[in-house]
Amino acid sequence: MRTRFLVGVGLLTLMGTGWAESAAQALPAQAVAALEIFQPRAVLGPLLEPATRTALAATPALQRSTSKPGYQQFLGVVQALETQLGADWPTALQKLTGRGVALGLYPQERALFVADAEDAPLLGKLHALLWNMTQNQAALSGKPSPATSLPLGGAMAYSLGKNEAHVIQGGRLTWAKKLEDLEAAAQALRQNGSLATAPAYQAARKAVSADAAGMLFLNMQALKLAPGVAKAFKPESGNPLGALIFAGLGETAGAANWIALGLHVKPHGLELRLVSDAPVPAAQSPAAFALPTAPTEGALPNLKVPRQLAALSLYRDLHRFYAAKDQLFPERTSGLIFFENMMGIFFSGRDLTDDVMAQAQPNVRFVAAQQQFDPAAGTPVYQLPAFAIVLQLRHPEKFREYVEEAWQKAIGLASFTRGQRAEPGFILDRALHGGVPFTFARFSTAYAKDPARLDVRYNFRPALAMPGNQLIFASTDGVARDVMDALAREGQQPQAPLAQIHGVLELEGGKVAAALRANRDFMVRQNMLKGGEVKSNEEQIDGLIGLADFIRTARLTTGAQGAKLDVDFNWPPPAAKLASTP
């Protein structure tokens, strides 16, 4: 007890100077990860608005929680505290955290939470109420009270139960799971100082900019000491598709001493900025295929098509990517070997690296959109989005027929394989759009029993189009036509590359939610087939639909200087849509 008393005094002494400047001053410097909110009111305010709370209360997930045992008891405790404190819980929460909060994670599963209150008397009043409630409950049950305390001069160290310990000094609350964790924190603060004064944390704080409302800080040097973590950050991911899409992220993380994610609040939205101290990958690094070679080069702006759900534009040198396969994938997985063999068949033995990949310019674009089905032709029972991949060719006049030949071989192989299983195959067709001939494949509906409930396969009418120097692979002829129209508009007003930007991803939240809602039953059944519980599946899917409905637009950009995510919300959340989810 005497040791804990002295440790508590040391902790309070260390916490006693300048606490209002940064909650991270109460966190020891050796944090593996830390989250600090510098402007709690800016973050919590929109979430605690009455309209927002009303909308969120209408969500299926929260409505189901109100029917669970213990909810009414919990609600009664909250109402009692509101009465005693003289403030509703949203107001009290903002007053209790208004000067900043911080959470630090440490080895051996230790965590330390700090909250700096605007209203120190309110913090003391809340503590007194919880202390008395704990004592009274113990007395009513006839058991010894689990609450203990240590007198520390003008302050106290408290524990209200087995897995809770905290210190209150003025308007600062420091919480840990055990008194031993407070002891360890006090010793670490004395020996190594606070996280707020650590050079890496200060550099990260400066990098996310002074107007940031919060910051997530990752100590990469400490994280990479954990088993298996360092391996995950090696350039050799072993996953070709993952390496192509997320090029350089693992390498950057592996080279960084720290990574920070800054939170910036804006009207009806937020912005997240990812920064680190990692150097820009060298030109000879395995990730160089994603690095624009000239200052003005970068990913192209995204295409815009009707009913668009998402769009992705990447700067990726496919020739350089595949030429570095031995560096990127030294183990040469069986999937990669199979891919090479199949490409050899489709392209009649031409070298995949120098004869095929070299034909693509370093611009890859992808779009996904909701489909429009012709009722006269039939409508699938589950309506999946259509998608298209667009490449730019270096020598379209030479390569066009090579691609057409390879594509028809692929369609023929798919039909042959389906025929071996006694399933219908594709029928090849030719069409003309905007003066551009293109090829597509379809399934016949001649033997469909119910045109209003066609099989899932009728979502697919794979198409190949090559307008100008563009190469379009599409899941349907409809989205191929829309992409050709978008490229034609772009040709009239050429788009400049986004200088030094590696990738741009854009999402339309409302349209994504509509697509998910249209296929909710299909997704629930698919999860059931995997052995999931029906109730759990429904809650997860409804939560996903609700989140998508909440987001108006999202835009993620990645580049040499880090990454930025801009999200605009439907604010307050669309309660009517959320509540109407089955």
Residue 378 backbone phi and psi in degrees, to 5 = 115, 155
61 vs 153, residue with greater confidence: 61
Percent of the chain residues topping a pLDDT of 90:
49
Every domain of the chain and the residues it spans:
2-62+73-197, 300-496, 509-582
pLDDT tier, 578 (very low <50, low <70, confident <90, very high otherwise): very low
> How far apart (Å, rounded) are the C-alpha atoms in residues 471 and 566?
30
Beta strand 269-276 pairing with 148-152: unpaired
What pLDDT score does 238 carry?
58
Q: Are 32 and 44 in contact (CB under 8 A)?
A: no
CB-based burial label for 356 (10 Å; 0-12, 13-18, 19+): buried
Mean pLDDT of 190-205: 94
* pLDDT reported for residue 119: 95
Which residue in this structure is represented by tokens 């030294």? 330
Confidence bin at 19 (pLDDT 50/70/90)? very low
**CA 191 vs CA 21, 51, 187, 277: distances in Å:** 21, 48, 6, 26
Mean local confidence (pLDDT), 349-373: 92
> Can you name the residues that pair with 91 across neighbouring β-strands?
none
Per-residue pLDDT reduced to its tens digit, 1-12: 333 333 333 343
Q: pLDDT tier at 403 (50, 70, 90 boundaries)?
A: very high
Of the pLDDT bands very low, low, confident and very high (cuts 50, 70, 90), residue 17 is very low
Q: Could you give the CA distance from residue 315 to residue 414 in angstroms, rounded to a whole number?
A: 31
Determine contact, residues 27/195, Cβ cutoff 8 Å: yes
In the block, which residue shows the tokens 């189009």?
465
Q: How confident is the model at residue 87 (pLDDT cuts 50, 70, 90)?
A: very high
Q: In the prediction, which pLDDT does 67 show? A: 74
Task: Please give the model's pTM, rounded to 2 decimal places.
Answer: 0.84
Q: How far is CA 365 from CA 201, 499, 501, in A?
A: 37, 16, 14
Q: What is the pLDDT of residue 476?
A: 96
What is the Cα–Cα distance from 302 to 503, expressed in whole angstroms? 10
Distance CA 532, CA 405 (A): 43
Residue 463 in this model has a pLDDT that exceeds 90 = yes
pLDDT at 334: 61
Give me the chain's average pLDDT, please.
85
> Higher pLDDT residue, 435 or 582?
435
Residue 60: pLDDT over 80 = no
* Cα distances (angstroms) measured from residue 208 to each of 269, 272, 398, 438: 17, 9, 49, 48
| HSE of 56, CA atoms in CB hemisphere, 13 A | 11
Whole-number pLDDT of residue 528: 62
User: Exposed, middle or buried: residue 390 (CB in 10 Å: 0-12, 13-18, 19+)?
Assistant: buried
Residue 533 is predicted with a pLDDT of: 53
> How far is Cα 433 from Cα 486, in angstroms, rounded to an integer?
12
CA atoms of 504 and 498, how far apart (whole Å):
9
pLDDT confidence of residue 381: 86
DSSP string across 115-131: EE-S-HHHHHHHHHHHH
The CA distance from 219 to 234, in Å, is 17
* CA-wise closest residue to 581 among 65, 63, 71: 63
Minimum mean pLDDT range among 250-259, 276-285, 354-363: 276-285
Q: Which of 90-94, 223-227, 346-350 has the lowest mean pLDDT?
A: 223-227
In this predicted model, what pLDDT tens digit does every residue of 501-519 receive, in sequence order? 999 999 999 999 998 888 8
Task: Identify the pLDDT of residue 8.
Answer: 39
At residue 228, the pLDDT reads 66
Mean pLDDT for 459-463 is 96
Decide if 113 contacts 56 (C-beta within 8 A): no
Residue 349 confidence (pLDDT) above 50: yes
In this predicted structure, what is the pLDDT of residue 582? Answer: 41
Kindly indicate the confidence band of residue 93, based on its pLDDT and cuts at 50, 70 and 90: very high
Q: What is the dihedral of CA 319, 323, 327, 332, to 10 degrees?
A: 100
Structure tokens at 560: 């040499």
Helices (H), 66-119: 71-85, 89-97
Is the alpha carbon torsion for 228, 234, 238, 242 positive or negative? positive
Q: pLDDT tens digits, residue range 266-318?
A: 888 999 999 999 887 766 777 788 888 888 999 999 999 999 999 999 999 99
476-489 per-residue burial string, b: 16 or more CB within 10 A, e: under 16: bbbbbbbbbbbbbe
Rounded CA separation 423/447 (Å) = 12
Q: In the prediction, which pLDDT does 494 show?
A: 84
Of 120-129, 196-205, 311-320, 325-334, where does mean pLDDT reach its minimum? 325-334
